[in-house]
Amino acid sequence: MRANVADTSCQSSVAAKPSPCLMVIFGAAGDLTRRLLVPSLFELALKGLLPEPFAVLGFSREPWGDDDFRKQMHQHLEQDGDFDAEAWSRFAARLRYQPGDFTSQEDFQRLGGRVAAMREERGLPDNLYFHLATPPAFFGRVAENLDRAALAVLLRFLWVEGFLKRLRAAS
């Protein structure tokens, strides 16, 4: 029995805001974050589709601070032409950065402290979304370190490329 991938009966015609959360992006200094993730989140913010409260914490090896991270993301977005500086200012207030190595348990402990501080500061619930913008070779190590740092009770990962290949093969 094959799944009908064209069935849209479960899709809503009205976009609902997701639950308030803190999004942690692993590999935040990389091209995927700069070109796709942050621009997509900014577009959602412009359309009023991000939950309140909502924040992003980037995690990567670059020795940046919060302002460095915001500046890097801003530079890329500003190149896209029609740029709303006031909207960016509101969105950028949601962005934070924590330098660290995917393989370092100590860095994940520091990440845990930063997550706790951000949750308290912004009134965020215990709802964490982890996005792995990393090479697949790091997926297992990141999951292990999240578990050891007690940052995740349940982890669900979707490797999009592999999922799409299986979906195409099934149809």
Model confidence over 140-162: pLDDT tens digits? Answer: 899 899 988 888 755 555 455 45
Residue 39: name the closest of 68, 98, 101, 82 by CA: 82
For residue 82 the two structure tokens come to 């029609």
The per-residue pLDDT for 170 is 57
The answer to whether 69 touches 58, Cβ cutoff 8 Å, is yes
What domains sit in the chain, N to C, each tagged with a CATH number?
21-170 (3.40.50.720)
Residue 33: name the closest of 66, 55, 51, 59 by CA: 59
Q: Which residues pair with 26 in a beta bridge?
A: 59, 132
> What pTM, to 2 d.p., does this model score?
0.81
Cβ atoms < 10 Å from Cβ of 6: 6
pLDDT digits (tens, 9 = 90+) for 55-106: 999 999 999 999 999 999 999 888 876 788 999 999 999 999 999 999 999 9
